[in-house]
Structure 1
């Protein structure tokens, strides 16, 4: 591989919060292909979790995604934790007298509402748009139903992203890519045999941080078994074992890279990878997933996601309330706040904070 064609590559994809980069194992052309195909497939599968936990990315934002609620509505969840209606809503409600009626508009922003009002003006030229705009106001409301998260893991595109992550760590640890024949064969050949399987039979991480939805990639080169074994775990719930090579002749070594995708903080984890070839084959054949084990993994990290969602929404609402209050309290920028300004600030902030406070109060009562 020519030096000028060598690129830095994330061990864990940036799309799900990875930071660490390595060089020397993938060329620019392959990097571009894998980034657009493999990693996008993995990121799409894990996007609900990326949104739920509010991960931090080096570049870009987690894409918004539509979810159905338990009540049958569809809401869009955004990277900052806020939610939008799926599309703007327009309705006309006739009065009982039969003369005239009401026009109701629900939009995701004031600018979107203005565009809709222009359409109303074309339909009803006699209407005064200024009166509509004067009475228009932005209101927050919270959905009382639960969002439905439909998660599915698997597939060769996402699988190749996982294998590539393990191979990247192996190469950065001193194991040449050409030695990892099982991995390179799967990555280079469309019909190459998959070299990974799901594993929930036991916890391979001996110092698992409770309630942290971390990412982890670990590898072990063993001269005795002649294997290069890998382990990849995303969000504490997607757990995969891999065999990158079964003809390893190098020295014994191991390496682990783990990160909290919410904060970007690296974690020091101890991963025990003691597998026979039979263990690996059974993982490939989906025989290492005891009943209820996947659900148990989710149960350990869901509370952290809920807590994180509340914190993000609290911070978002508080920031918006402060900006709204200062903008509308009557004080000019740079001038001293008078008692009447302070009183109005308090009132305006509570106007914006009230929906969040009431929602949390209602939610806490339901839990009791």
Structure 2
């Protein structure tokens, strides 16, 4: 076996585990028969990195658990309608870019997302003003909690040659992992390596109407079809159930007729059995069609509409997942507050249950009020 990029034979020293889909976007399917360590590293630090960067908003908001990247991407310079800047470090709670400490008539106002962050800010105060009586100050702290009422804007731009090269590499990885013949895919590899311009070898596409998703599904899908009669080898790829692409691997294909589909839910870490059918006339016919300005514009509009609709669905799931996380976390906090961290489930009395429910209701109340008020505002906006 040799590396499909540089043709170096694999050894124990240079072999590597290549992700078919980049692990930066949650991919877990791998092969050790594709790339040597050097080529794996080269692609990983360039086009794969660029693809992951473009989808980092989805990764952060979905709080995606990845194999190697343990930390979530930090989303910076998010802006509210009033012009305030925020940073999103944990996918959930925006923090202001400017200092969370402001001077007031009665002392200082400290904005923190949680008690741990408050203590960290207070620790910084102690270092800055070592002579102050912080024990007394902490005893006088008046705590209050609230939720942001302003929405923040997250911009997401998906496109460019680097991204399309990475998408082409996904298709190439998948085809070769099925023991495909490299002699058919030379033009695509040349495009990926920058030796050939992208003459519609890889391009954006819309999500086919025939494709459906499970209610909570966020998946990556690869559908590969090879037809020796038409000499075409084509892949249809959908990332995050949202952004879809066509990859023309070959127009000289003479291998066996083939049809493979791989669908992986990045939230459940499970493969999904999915029926995928798509019609694509081939690269030459597609190029001819988009020579007409009207057809090209209509296609671009259809792709934008498809991406917008799919993204709205994902953002709805983000809100659902984060709502469920908040309910679960608040329940755990209430239990620990009443029973302590080391409690025996079998010895929980009815009185303890009632106390837990009381604490839970007190903690969750402000969140639910904020949640329903936000939906009311959004509903009013959409009806105007």
**Which TM-score band applies after superposition, normalised by the shorter structure?**
0.7 to 0.9
The answer to whether 1:271 aligns with 2:277 is yes
Question: Any unmatched runs of 5+ in structure 1?
Answer: 95-100
Residue aligning to 2:233? 228
User: How much is the aligned-residue C-alpha RMSD, in angstroms?
Assistant: 3.1
Distance in 2, matches of 1:269 and 1:338, equals 51
- Deviation, structure 1 residue 165: 0.4
CA distance in 2, matches of 1:6, 1:245: 27
2:10–2:36 CA contact under 8 A, matched in 1: no
Q: Map 1:1-368 onto structure 2 (within 5 A).
A: 1=2, 2-4=9-11, 5-59=14-68, 60-66=70-76, 67-79=78-90, 81-94=92-105, 101-108=106-113, 109-119=117-127, 121-122=129-130, 125=131, 127-136=132-141, 140-188=145-193, 190-194=194-198, 195-200=201-206, 203-204=207-208, 206-209=210-213, 212-267=217-272, 268-281=274-287, 287=296, 289-320=299-330, 322-323=332-333, 325-329=334-338, 333-334=342-343, 344-366=355-377, 367=379
Change (3 A) 1:303 1:337: same
- Per-residue displacement from partner, 1:224-243 (whole Å, max 9, x unpaired)? 22222122211233221121
TM-aligned CA distance change 1:303 to 1:179, over 3 Å: closer
Higher relative contact order (CA 8 A, sep 6+): 1
For structure 2, the 5+ residue unaligned runs are 3-8
Task: Check the 8 A contact 1:15/1:62 in 2, yes or no.
Answer: no
Closer/same/farther in 2, CA of residues 128 and 37 from structure 1, 3 Å limit: same
Change (3 A) 1:342 1:231: closer
Distance 1:342 1:174, change over 3 A: closer
TM-superposed CA distance for 1:24, in Å, is: 2.0
Aligned-pair CA distance for 1:75: 2.7
Shift of 1:244: 1.5
Q: 1:321 deviation in Å?
A: 5.0
* Number of equivalent positions: 355
Give the 3-state SS of the residue equivalent to 2:223 in structure 1.
strand
Conservation of the 8 A alpha-carbon contact between 2:190 and 2:196: yes
From the superposition, tell whether residues 138 and 173 of structure 1 become closer, same or farther in structure 2 (CA, over 3 Å).
Answer: farther
Q: Do the aligned residues in 1 keep the contact of 2:23 with 2:67 (CA within 8 Å)?
A: yes
Whole-angstrom CA distance in 2 between matches of 1:332 and 1:25: 48
| Corresponding residue of 1:97 | none
CA deviations on 1:63-90 (whole Å, 9 max, x unpaired) are 1313222332233334453333335422
The answer to whether the 8 Å contact 2:227/2:253 transfers is yes
Q: TM-score, normalised by structure 2?
A: 0.80
Kept in 1: contact 2:50–2:162 (CA 8 A): yes
Contact 2:164-2:203 within 8 A present in 1 as well: no
TM-score (norm 1): 0.83
- Distance in 2 between the 1:3 and 1:332 partners? 51
